[in-house]
Amino acid sequence: MKNIKSYVQENKQRFLDELIELLKIPSISADSAYKEHTVKTADVVAKSLTDAGCDVVEICKTEGYPIIYAHKIIDKNLPTVLVYGHYDVQPPDPLNLWTSPPFEPVIKTTKLHPEGAIFARGACDDKGQMYMHVKALEFMTTQNQLPCNVKFMIEGEEEVGSVNLAKFVKQNQDKLSNDVILISDTGMIAKDVPSITTGLRGLSYVEVEVTGPNRDLHSGLYGGAVANPINVLTKMIASLHDENNHITIPGFYDNVEELSKEERAQMAKAPFSLENYKEALDIDSVYGEAGYTTNERNSIRPTLDVNGIWGGYTGEGAKTVIASQAFAKISMRLVPNQDWENITALFKKHFESIASKGVTVKVTPHHGGQGYVTPIDSIGYKAASKAYEETFGKTPIPQRSGGSIPIVALFEQELKSKTILMGFGLDSDAIHSPNEHFGVWNYLKGIETIPGFYKHFTELSK
């Protein structure tokens, strides 16, 4: 029976090689051209769970990409941990900005990762972090150190809204019954500042379309005399924030949970350097809602951002044209108590109401989800905290994240259990961006920390 530290040391090359193989498969859920690859990834993940010692491994068909369900039940009287992760990845574009191809993983060193980081799409989000759990399970089963039951549920549609997973969860409450849900799909403050994510923002994602004249027009012959959909759209978008960067949609802030002075003071204690933050992004100043700090703006406050905008002529050179239509994709990050469907409805009503004469506006909701906060006095949080103490030698800091994993709120609603977010990524890992990477150190540290969670959770549950 080996301890986890030596097990990781002895097997680290294989752990890296296996992850690299998984990262070679382009499981881009948003792009149907990659369908075969995405389906194949599910098979590879399923096999890894069989190899890691699960007794039951199922590839569950859905209307979209399959969900892998697996378990190892050792004793019905012991607690059950449900691990969730996703095997799909974001599209890698713009490809020309990658320093090595996104699906040809290589280990390179960086300032923050002197021991190397794996560069590939999905390295951190979420194949690398999901695979830490598979390897931690391998350790526990082969070294006789699995203290409780474990279930895995790994999906292939997280990056496109988890629509089929939501149905699966609602239809399989018994199968998925558990005492705690464990996810590694978030980050931590820094390598020497471990943290546990205690909150996720909700999301409402919409697409808007502004239509003016029935065809593209000569911008000289018609310019100035008809509403230009791009001019109108940009004006409408600009009006969605006031001079203090508050969002102007009526009712938008109605249910926003305001943190107490004490809670905000507690948050402000987490180590943070504004100088480093600006330097990492090559910006000379931060920007955001008046009255809130950078860390508050990106976690406890709701936002509205254009994610893409297009229309008219964007090719080489110039073309004098007034486009018939203009489009934008807009995300709103929400905080607990804001209901995403209600916010979507408020947005739609407001956006339609501010349209200029001479255009029509169409708002199409995409997907969304509720925000989430997890308490820090639960058994799950305490177990995670102890696990980090053992491997980092420090008590982790609770931290609310700005990102979203919409399915987490649904887990609590349907499965009635709390989620613990043990993320090992860094903000600088460039998830969703070119050159996504995941530190070798972070990957191995994650594998090392996870078994401690199982041990302490089982002990604290007695």
Return the one option of ligand BES, Mn ion, none that residue 161 interacts with (CB less than 5 to 8 A, by type). ligand BES
CA separation for the pair 332, 344 (Å, rounded)? 9
Number of residues forming the site for Mn ion (CB under 5 A): 3
- Is 436 a binder of Mn ion (CB under 5 A)? no
Beta-strand runs (E) in 66-211? 67-72, 80-86, 106-108, 117-119, 149-155, 180-183, 195-200, 202-211
Number of residues forming the site for ligand BES (CB under 6 A): 15
Instruction: Enumerate residues 6+ apart whose C-beta is below 8 A from 429.
Output: 117, 123, 124, 125, 187, 436, 437, 438, 439
Among the listed ranges 56-64, 131-139, 182-190, 354-362, the one in contact with ligand BES (CB under 6 A) is 182-190
CA separation for the pair 241, 244 (Å, rounded)? 8
Given candidates 233, 405, 422, 450, which one binds ligand BES under the rule CB under 6 A? 405
Residue 185 or residue 429: which is nearer to Mn ion going by CB?
Answer: 185
Residue 126 or residue 429: which is nearer to Mn ion going by CB?
Answer: 126
Does residue 105 have a cis bond before it (omega within 30 degrees)?
no
Residue 4 or residue 426: which is nearer to ligand BES going by CB?
Answer: 426
State the pairing for strand pair 180-183/80-86.
Answer: parallel
- Compute the CA torsion angle 30, 33, 34, 35 (nearest 10 deg): 90
> Please, are residues 64 and 367 in contact by the beta-carbon 8 Å criterion?
no
- Is 194 a binder of ligand BES (CB under 6 A)? no
Given candidates 45, 64, 65, 126, which one binds ligand BES under the rule CB under 6 A? 126
- Is 155 a binder of Mn ion (CB under 5 A)? no
CA separation for the pair 267, 253 (Å, rounded)? 21
Scored b (16 or more CB within 10 A) or e, 419-445 reads bbbbbbbbbbbbbeebbbbbbbbbbbb
Contact string 168-207 vs Mn ion (x = CB under 5 A): -----------------x----------------------
Return the one option of Mn ion, ligand BES, none that residue 429 interacts with (CB less than 5 to 8 A, by type). none
Q: Which residue is nearest to ligand BES (CB)?
A: 403
Query: 235: how many CB neighbours lie within 10 A of its CB?
Result: 12
Residue 157 or residue 185: which is nearer to Mn ion going by CB?
Answer: 185
CA separation for the pair 1, 3 (Å, rounded)? 7
Return the one option of Mn ion, ligand BES, none that residue 204 interacts with (CB less than 5 to 8 A, by type). none
Smallest gap from residue 126 Cβ to ligand BES (A): 6
Given candidates 64, 147, 161, 396, which one binds ligand BES under the rule CB under 6 A? 161
Report the largest interatomic distance among the alpha carbons of the chain, rounded to a whole angstrom.
Answer: 82
- Is 185 a binder of ligand BES (CB under 6 A)? yes
CA separation for the pair 185, 98 (Å, rounded)? 22
CA separation for the pair 15, 197 (Å, rounded)? 25
Given candidates 64, 302, 336, 403, which one binds ligand BES under the rule CB under 6 A? 403
Given candidates 34, 66, 80, 125, which one binds Mn ion under the rule CB under 5 A? 125
CA angle 454, 460, 461 (to 5 degrees): 85
Tell me how far CA of residue 425 lies from CA of 90, 103, 144, 368, 443, in angstroms: 16, 19, 29, 23, 8
- Is 157 a binder of ligand BES (CB under 6 A)? no
Among the listed ranges 56-64, 141-149, 166-174, 179-187, the one in contact with ligand BES (CB under 6 A) is 179-187
Among the listed ranges 155-163, 230-238, 252-260, 380-388, the one in contact with ligand BES (CB under 6 A) is 155-163
Smallest gap from residue 86 Cβ to ligand BES (A): 6
Site residues for Mn ion per CB under 5 A: 125-126, 185
The residues that touch ligand BES, with contacts defined as CB under 6 A, are: 125-126, 158-159, 161, 185-187, 200, 203, 401, 403-406
